[in-house]
């Protein structure tokens, strides 16, 4: 961290409100206007000063986290919004709005300043059709190359026929290697990993170019599960029709944490106060899903490294079944919970309550022993260590630059957790820690997850204690919410929560109707997967499989 | 005592231990062997049947499943293979990573335009006879995403399906039931007919020259395989 940044951070910490006038003065020559979003102020800037503005804000004001890039179309213009935050204090937010005319939606790319903008801008180009000048590799990311039109545009005709090619993939390095022929013969092999492959955790296609066993080039090809989640949410009403979809973003299942991201956004947008009792239930449920999600991560990581359906997989699945049973008792479903409602939860804890609490306590009591089991099976296994220690390394700076969050970031030693830094729910009233590791390799990412399971258990235990003693006449599970929600026209908000995979954010813009005009999801796996190219640079092909496993991606969240 | 010193205290048993065996078997033949079959056919039973019936019976009871995950349903599919539900108990639990070793494909999740041709190829690589279990609402009809611009409205747009298991996602028990039903059908010699057109991938040059083909003709080689989605006419 540079001294300037440090200064700015200290300034920020002493005064939790962001001094937007000061920020505006830093970049005043480029600012053409100012907007107020519900979460933060936004500066409108001209189309060709994106890099200037963002690098100034990054270096001089400490806004080093580009959460997400949202692109959208209005009747009269196109617009990209860069949502900026600080890793040190995510409550300090700032949005940079770049409007472009309808006829020519082109503006400067932010990719040279924030590497994470690379993929975000490709997505914006793909779905909305804004072009980014100076982008290193502007092509479609989610939809097939031959797709006609940009589906999130207002005039997109969804019934138009489409043709998708099915060709052999070409070696992306072939051309540059032909030039190098005189410098000695480097033989490379092009290898497709996926989209149907047991180690890709779903339908991911990784185009790899191998030089011997070493990775010379790597390009994750995503979009095999792009099921139009943003459009689906834009077609649903705020009150009831959107809530089922979050369960299907990260189906590991971290469904409750996903639902919370939407609930938090709409509740803040509408100013709905959630009853404290419901907040405790939410916190408890979300932590259960975190355990379930991390168990799956451990299970599949063991599967990737040790082999097919081996002991670790079965052990972790056994424990997941227990958590899933608890969640099923709570919500009524095994995976697609649909338990949160705007302003609360759908129903109270299952009856008889004391049996339910006993079940949770039993699970928590057994958990330390089980975690020891994983340690003796996995992390103390010498072969396992050989494959995970010092492989897939990513430095804290690079991890920040790629916008990774969650266990991936914390394993690189960056202490960033929205549950503590931007508190929501009941987290700030409970006693728990954010666990980090310094090593930044595959093993560290696994260990962070296992540590987090312990912390989640602590949180659940405290929630159970609270719920047990909650007075019976004060068990309010739902705030008073109107039947149909119609936020102010033009209101915009970006809100995020700490899902098991990392920062899960929702951007919503209202047009005064009961459906959002734009619904943008920031899936943490999207950014985490982007960092794969940095982690695998020059590594061996088996390490790529290990690294991919350690990222714990969920393809539905990558592709949305 | 080191190992190169011969030991005298180990001698061949002069008295083979048969006590426990005898005790276990008891008087007469083991009742566990007295099956209905043995009752009907005597002590050395033989069965006369048609070879194809026998093959169907064998096929139904030794299913090799393709290890194939798409979306949410695949998590429940993993649970079905794992402890507690353990699909193996139903003679159907050998997940194979390669389509060439598998004869049942469970389609667990949403199929989108980009993935459909790949799934078709994986299906084509499976040896005959092959069977498909559709898991969940997405692969039946597009499920909750049916209205999306990119979602194929069911696996049957791409490959023939034998059994649909509804649910979002179906519980492991439901999948077990679906597979048991498939086994029953296979053992009875039933399966859905293999349909060729219009599911096949086509060569780009063979497509009708409409507006979109004209537009893409510069970018696409005539001989490359393509899949055409007619979203308007999709169910």
Locate the domains of chain B by residue range. Answer: 46-188
Report the percentage of chain A scoring pLDDT > 90.
33
Residue B205: the pLDDT is 83
Query: Is pLDDT at A12 greater than 50 in this prediction?
Result: no
Angle, helices B172-187/B51-60, rounded to nearest 10 degrees = 170
The answer to whether the Cβ–Cβ distance between A161 and B74 falls below 8 Å is: no
Which tens digits make up the pLDDT trace of A519-543? 999 989 999 999 998 888 888 988 8
CB A258 within 8 A of CB A224: no
Q: How does DSSP assign A28-83, residue by residue?
A: GGGEEEEEE-SSSEEEEE-TT-HHHHHHHHHHHS---EEEEEEEEE-SSEEEEEEE
What CA dihedral angle connects A85, A90, A92 and A97, to 10 degrees? 30
* Mean pLDDT of the region A150-173: 82
Question: Is A165 an 8 Å CB contact of chain B?
Answer: yes
Mean residue pLDDT of chain B comes to: 81
Q: Which helix (H) or strand (E) holds A106?
A: strand A106-108
Strand partners, A486: none
Mean residue pLDDT of chain A comes to: 86
- CATH 3.20.20.70 corresponds to the domain A20-133: no
Which tens digits make up the pLDDT trace of A231-279? 999 999 998 899 999 998 888 878 899 999 999 999 998 889 999 999 9
CATH says B46-188 is which class? alpha beta
Chain B residue with minimal CA distance to A234?
A: B148
Chain A contacts of B67, Cβ < 8 Å?
A: 198
Which tens digits make up the pLDDT trace of B130-158? 889 999 999 988 889 988 888 988 888 88
Q: Where in chain A is the domain with CATH 1.10.645.10?
A: 251-521
pLDDT confidence band for B1 (50 / 70 / 90): very low
ipTM metric: 0.85
Query: Is pLDDT at A186 greater than 80 in this prediction?
Result: no
Mutate to test the interface with B, among A140, A161, A229, A307 (most CBs of B within 10 A): A161
Which tens digits make up the pLDDT trace of A203-228? 889 888 888 888 888 888 898 999 99
pLDDT confidence band for A283 (50 / 70 / 90): very high
Kindly report the nearest CA distance between residue B82 and chain A, in angstroms: 6
Mutate to test the interface with A, among B71, B79, B102, B159 (most CBs of A within 10 A): B71
Question: Is B194 an 8 Å CB contact of chain A?
Answer: no
Residue B54: CB atoms within 10 A of its CB come to 11
pTM above 0.90, yes or no: no
Q: Where in chain A is the domain with CATH 3.30.460.80?
A: 20-133
Q: Could you tell me the sign of the dihedral formed by the alpha carbons of A413, A417, A422, A426, in that order?
A: negative
- Cα–Cα dist A261/B128, whole Å: 47
The answer to whether the Cβ–Cβ distance between A166 and B149 falls below 8 Å is: no
Kindly report the nearest CA distance between residue A304 and chain B, in angstroms: 12
Question: Is B116 an 8 Å CB contact of chain A?
Answer: yes
Q: Could you tell me the sign of the dihedral formed by the alpha carbons of A62, A64, A68, A74, in that order?
A: positive
CATH code, residues A251-521: 1.10.645.10
The answer to whether the Cβ–Cβ distance between A309 and B95 falls below 8 Å is: yes
């Amino acid at each position: 961290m540079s001294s300037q940044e440090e200064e700015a951070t200290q300034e920020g910490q002493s005064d939790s409100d962001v001094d937007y006038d000061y920020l505006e003065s830093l970049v005043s020559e480029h600012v053409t206007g100012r907007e107020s979003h519900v979460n933060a102020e936004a500066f409108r800037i001209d189309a060709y000063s994106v890099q200037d503005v963002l690098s100034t804000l990054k270096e001089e004001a400490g806004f080093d986290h580009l959460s997400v890039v949202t692109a959208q179309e209005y009747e009269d213009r196109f617009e990209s919004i860069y949502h900026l935050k600080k890793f040190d204090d995510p409550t300090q937010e700032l949005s940079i709005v770049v409007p472009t005319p309808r006829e020519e939606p082109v503006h400067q790319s932010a990719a040279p300043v924030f590497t994470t903008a690379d993929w975000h801008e490709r997505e914006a180009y793909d779905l909305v059709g804004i072009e980014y000048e100076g982008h290193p590799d502007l092509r479609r990311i989610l939809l097939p190359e031959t797709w006609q039109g940009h589906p999130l545009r207002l005039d997109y005709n969804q019934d138009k026929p489409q043709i998708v090619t099915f060709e052999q993939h070409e070696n992306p390095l072939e051309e540059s290697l032909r030039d190098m022929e005189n410098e000695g013969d480097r033989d490379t092999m092009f290898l497709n990993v996926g989209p149907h492959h047991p180690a890709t955790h779903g339908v991911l296609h990784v185009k790899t170019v191998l030089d011997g066993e070493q990775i010379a080039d790597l390009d994750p090809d995503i979009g095999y599960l792009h099921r139009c989640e943003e459009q689906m949410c834009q077609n649903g009403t705020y009150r009831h029709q959107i809530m089922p979809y979050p369960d299907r973003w990260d189906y590991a299942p971290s469904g409750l944490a996903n639902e919370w991201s939407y609930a938090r956004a709409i509740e803040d947008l509408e100013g709905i106060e959630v009853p404290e009792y419901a907040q405790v239930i939410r916190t408890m449920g979300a932590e259960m899903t975190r355990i379930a999600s991390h168990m799956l991560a451990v299970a599949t990581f063991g599967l990737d490294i040790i082999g097919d359906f081996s002991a670790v997989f079965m052990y972790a699945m056994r424990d997941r079944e227990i958590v899933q049973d608890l969640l099923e008792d709570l919500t009524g479903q095994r995976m697609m919970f649909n338990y949160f409602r705007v302003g609360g939860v759908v129903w109270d804890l299952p009856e008889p309550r004391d049996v339910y609490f006993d079940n949770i306590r039993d699970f928590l009591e057994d958990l330390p022993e089980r975690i020891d089991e994983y340690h003796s099976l996995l992390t103390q296994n010498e072969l396992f260590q050989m494959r995970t220690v010092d492989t897939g390394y990513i430095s804290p700076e690079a991890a920040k630059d790629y916008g990774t969050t969650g266990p991936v970031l914390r394993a690189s030693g960056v202490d960033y957790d929205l549950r503590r830094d931007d508190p929501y729910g009941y987290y700030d009233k409970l006693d728990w820690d954010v666990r980090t590791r310094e090593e930044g390799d595959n093993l560290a990412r696994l260990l962070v997850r296992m540590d987090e399971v312990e912390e989640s258990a602590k949180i659940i235990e405290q929630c159970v204690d609270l719920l047990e003693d909650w007075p019976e006449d004060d068990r309010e599970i739902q705030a008073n919410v109107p039947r149909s929600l119609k936020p102010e026209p033009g209101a915009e908000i970006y809100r995020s929560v700490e899902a098991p995979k990392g920062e899960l954010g929702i951007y919503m813009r209202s047009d005064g109707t009961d459906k959002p005009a734009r619904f943008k999801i920031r899936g943490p796996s999207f950014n985490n997967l982007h960092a794969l190219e940095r982690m695998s640079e020059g590594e061996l092909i088996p390490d790529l499989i290990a690294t991919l496993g350690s990222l714990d991606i969920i393809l539905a969240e990558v592709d949305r | 005592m080191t190992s190169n010193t011969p030991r005298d205290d180990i001698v061949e048993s002069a008295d083979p231990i048969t006590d426990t065996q005898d005790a276990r078997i008891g008087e007469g033949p083991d009742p566990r062997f007295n099956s209905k079959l043995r009752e009907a056919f005597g002590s050395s039973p033989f069965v006369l049947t048609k070879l194809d019936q026998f093959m169907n019976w064998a096929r139904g009871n030794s299913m090799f499943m393709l290890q194939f995950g798409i979306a949410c349903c695949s998590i429940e599919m993993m649970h079905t293979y794992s402890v507690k539900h353990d699909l193996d108990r139903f003679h159907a639990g050998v997940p194979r990573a390669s389509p060439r070793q598998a004869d049942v494909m469970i389609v667990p999740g949403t199929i989108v335009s980009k993935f459909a041709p790949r799934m078709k190829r994986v299906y084509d690589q499976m040896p005959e006879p092959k069977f498909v279990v559709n898991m969940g609402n997405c692969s039946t009809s597009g499920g909750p995403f049916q209205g999306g611009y990119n979602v194929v409205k069911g696996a049957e747009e791409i490959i023939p399906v034998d059994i649909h298991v509804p649910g979002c996602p179906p519980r492991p028990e439901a999948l077990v039931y679906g597979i048991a039903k498939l086994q029953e059908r296979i053992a009875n010699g039933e399966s859905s007919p293999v349909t060729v057109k219009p599911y096949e991938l086509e060569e780009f040059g063979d497509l009708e020259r409409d507006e979109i083909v004209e537009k893409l003709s510069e970018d696409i080689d005539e001989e490359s395989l393509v899949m055409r989605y007619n979203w308007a006419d999709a169910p």
